[in-house]
Amino acid sequence: MTCRTFGPPVRAQDGLGVCELCFEGASDEEIAACEMIVDPDDLESQLLISMKNGRGSDEQTLVAFALK
């Protein structure tokens, strides 16, 4: 199950961010096994290039805006 407040474990600058309540008693290895890798195939960049080529604009998707 995924935490409805924090979501799955995701790596950030400070390490793997997790909800402590969801992983109480879990080892570091068990937590790492649940990690979700955000956009592993870099589809967001490809989408932005496709949008720019198709419309001639530099518009951003919501994901790109949030990541920026």
Q: How do residues 4-58 score in pLDDT, each as one tens digit?
A: 777 888 888 888 888 888 888 989 899 889 888 888 888 888 887 877 776 655 6
Q: Is the pLDDT of residue 64 over 70?
A: no
DSSP string, 3-56: -TTT-S-EEETTEEE--TTTTTT--HHHHHHTPPPSSTT-HHHHHHHHHHHHHS
What pTM, to 2 d.p., does this model score?
0.50
